[in-house]
Chain A
Amino acid sequence: MMTLLISLRQIAHGVFITLVLMSASLCISYVLAVIFTIINYAGNKWLKKCLSAVIFLVRGTPLLVQIYLIYYGAGQFSGVRESVLWPILREPLFCAIIALSINSACYTTVLLEAALASIPENEMSACAALGMSKWQTFVYICFPRGMGIVLPAYSNEVMMLLKGTTLASTITLLDVMGVTQQLIAQSYAVIEWYLFAAMIYLSLNALITYGFSRLIKQNNSYISS
């Protein structure tokens, strides 16, 4: 009984780490994705080319490689080890957040791009007719409309992000998956703990789905059915 309580406390801490990873990466990736979208909307040619190369690189490689590249790879260079960034790059938590944020930002940028492209041309023409600048069009029309359109696809991306956080357990981080592995090594109760972890992830996913369905309903309330 006592050991079970201790295990549950460990799991609770694992949930906390997962939520930290999740919320931090979600916020950073969202901000990055918006910046990337603005670059794509109004940046110069070279910036756009660089961005599309980065997105191609990130989307074409596994998340695990990216996490390893940042966590293990950064330490190879003495320049990095002596720089001010080293206290950050030394910590698995920050490395995981960096990798997850960049990964998710690239996928989200592509989604946002598609959403912006699907806004009817007439709305842009209306903006031009009203004499709005390119910037005003983006802030008042394109972006809010794009966010509304992207929400269903974005909810999938957020779920992918949650699934991605489990990979942080491979760089010694004790999130739900990491704690589960640890508990299994201690108790040999393989199936029980995996099922428990599965339940936690399913309920987190259900929460995300619920939150997004509320958001989508709210966001599209102006559209009469």
Chain B
Amino acid sequence: MFIDGYSLQLLLGAWITIKLACVAVIPGLLFGLLAASRSSWPIYLRYPMDVFIFIIRGLPEILVIFFIYFGLTTMLSQLFHHYVDISPFKAGAAALALLFGAYASSVFQGAFAAIDSGQLEAGNVMGLSNWQKFIYIQLPQAWRHAIPGLGNLWLVLVKDTAIVSLIGVSDMMNQAKMAASTTHQPFTFYLLAAFIYLLITSISQKVIDIFSLRSKRYLHS
């Protein structure tokens, strides 16, 4: 019963879900890193960023996603005086990236703050430039502190991809909805979808555990 076309459809949807999460996580990480450094920005850039991140974190995910997909389309259409079409996949990925980045920025802030200030002073003494200090000293060490937080955010991201189905991305949730309405077996298909999500999140958790073990391998126990 499970090897019929609908289950295959669901697996195709799962692939879209994974792709969506992976596409969103990279710009999300970059945005988070950028936003984490905002305490050293000039005030006229820092305050708008503070407000922006506060708003993104305070809003429901569904509102952010809908605003970017429907709102941005309307805004751009009014701006260019003709209908502008944004693909739901791109809009969804952008919204998820913003959400991920807004939360990741505070994870990064905590991680960078956890680095001993002596490390940076040592960098100064050795005559490293700001950029070299960032790449060779701060980033590798912050990584270790950031991994658990980022791992949780990744799991949240995977679960949030389900919401993107509401703007018409044919991800797993949408395929499950379609299968449920044609076969009149909603419970079966939503349960199947739930198990695939569970599979994705559990495998992710294992990978995160491996990463966090690796990041600590130079520490004495």
Asked if B186 is at the interface of the complex by the 8 Å CB criterion, the answer is yes
* Cα separation A162 to B62 with both chains bound (whole Å): 12
Known: A62-B173, A73-B190. A163 touches B61 (CB 8 A): yes
* Cα separation A159 to B59 with both chains bound (whole Å): 9
Q: How large is the interface on A (under 10, 10 to 19, 20 to 34, 35 or more residues)?
A: 35 or more
What distance in Å separates the Cβ of A84 from its nearest Cβ neighbour in chain B?
Answer: 19
When the two chains form their complex, are residues A166 and B62 in contact, meaning their CB atoms are under 8 A apart?
yes
Asked if A216 is at the interface of the complex by the 8 Å CB criterion, the answer is no
Residues in B with CB closer than 8 Å to A170 are 166
When the two chains form their complex, are residues A63 and B159 in contact, meaning their CB atoms are under 8 A apart?
yes
When the two chains form their complex, are residues B60 and A62 in contact, meaning their CB atoms are under 8 A apart?
no
When the two chains form their complex, are residues A194 and B70 in contact, meaning their CB atoms are under 8 A apart?
yes
Residues in A with CB closer than 8 Å to B71 are 190-191, 194
Known: A166-B62, A177-B60, A202-B58. A60 touches B202 (CB 8 A): yes
Asked if B102 is at the interface of the complex by the 8 Å CB criterion, the answer is no
When the two chains form their complex, are residues A65 and B173 in contact, meaning their CB atoms are under 8 A apart?
yes
Count how many chain B residues have C-beta atoms less than 8 Å from C-beta atoms of the other chain. Answer: 38
Known: A77-B187, A177-B62. A167 touches B163 (CB 8 A): yes
- Tell me the B residues contacting A by CB distance below 8 Å: 55, 58-63, 66-67, 70-71, 74-75, 155, 159-163, 165-166, 173, 176-177, 180, 184-188, 190-191, 193-194, 197-198, 201-202
**Known A76-B186, A184-B70; 18 more pairs at CB < 8 Å:** A60-B198, A61-B159, A62-B161, A64-B165, A65-B162, A72-B180, A73-B186, A73-B191, A76-B185, A163-B60, A163-B62, A169-B62, A177-B62, A181-B66, A191-B67, A191-B71, A201-B59, A202-B59
- Tell me the A residues contacting B by CB distance below 8 Å: 56-57, 60-66, 68-69, 72-77, 159, 162-167, 169-170, 177, 181, 184, 190-191, 194, 197-198, 201-202, 205-206
For this complex, 27 residue pairs linking A to B, each with C-beta atoms less than 8 Å apart, are A61-B197, A61-B198, A61-B201, A62-B162, A62-B163, A62-B173, A63-B159, A65-B173, A65-B197, A69-B187, A69-B191, A72-B180, A73-B186, A76-B186, A76-B187, A162-B60, A163-B62, A177-B60, A181-B66, A184-B70, A190-B70, A190-B71, A190-B74, A197-B63, A198-B55, A198-B67, A202-B59
